Amino acid sequence: MGNFFSLVQNENMKIYRRVRTWVMLGILVVVNLVIPLLFSMVDSEGATSIWDSVILSSTFTFFLCTIFSVIIAADSVAGEFSWGTIKLLLIRPWSRSKILLSKYVSVILFSLLCTVLLTGVSLLVSSLLFSGSADSNMFTPGKSGLVFTLQYILCDYVNLFITVAIAFMLSTVFRAGGLAIGLALFIMFTKGIFMTLFSPERYTWAKYLIFTHMDLTSYLQSDVGPGGITLGFSLAVLAVYYIVFMAISWYVFKKRDVAA
């Protein structure tokens, strides 16, 4: 019965036919052009390497990338409810699970597009502006700049991926895009505070908190995180949270009575 790909195509159409999507992508490109430029003006010695520039600009712009992905995720389900189009969407010969999956896939595709765009632009601009080969203080000695940068961006993406899952769940559960965006961004910006308040060094239970594990970049410097946790442990905790978020989203979406 039909082709799942056409559902994803529909969801993509609803993302990319909107002006705001292109505004967001435009902002992402511009910011990734400007930050290496600014950085090159400050860098008087000309010793900075490409990778330093890429990593520095991505630490800024990944915030934007996450915010934009969260906005798309939050609107994906909640938008259908607030527009009233959910009534037309759910009376097609498709199970609700598949419809929700198509929405989730389109959100993930958007976040990947943002990430590739961000990495691509900042790599391009940085390679034009910087040629220095100074040993970076950011890198682990002995690692190539390219590998480190890619790993760094992968860690950032994991962070984004979890934040987007939270936004997607909130959007499905509360059907309110604003609330989902607000809460997801709140978690994104305050997880540092939670980490300092509830450090696994002080409380053993804190190592089961999601906040402790969302930022994996610390594992690029050392194998053991705060309180003796390891990368494997962090990934396992994130996976459990992720599965729970998805299970809640799917359960609620399937069971929900769609009324005006």
For another protein, the closer CB: 2 or 26? 2
Q: Supply the minimum distance, in Å, between the C-beta of residue 1 and another protein.
A: 6
* Residue 7 vs 71, nearer CB to another protein: 7
Question: Looking at beta carbons only, is 45 or 257 nearer to another protein?
Answer: 257
Q: How far is the CB of 95 from another protein (least distance, A)?
A: 6
Q: CB of 20: closest distance to another protein in angstroms?
A: 9
137 and 39 Cβ atoms separated by less than 8 Å: no
Least distance (Å) between residue 26 CB and another protein: 17
Shortest Cβ 198–another protein spacing (Å): 38
Q: Which C-beta is closer to another protein: that of 23 or that of 197?
A: 23
Question: Based on CB atoms, which residue is closest to another protein, 88 or 197?
Answer: 88
| b/e map 2-11, b = 16+ CB within 10 Å | eeeeebbeeb
Q: Could you give the C-alpha distances from 158 to 108, 114, 147, 217, in angstroms and in order?
A: 12, 14, 16, 10
Nearer to another protein, 76 or 115 (CB): 76
d(CA 163, CA 182): 12
Paired tokens of 152: 């760094």
Q: How far is the CB of 29 from another protein (least distance, A)?
A: 22
Residues that bind another protein (CB under 8 A): 1-2, 6-7, 9-10, 13-14, 17-19, 83-85, 87-95, 255, 257-260
Nearer to another protein, 18 or 117 (CB): 18
Least distance CB 9 / another protein (angstroms):
6
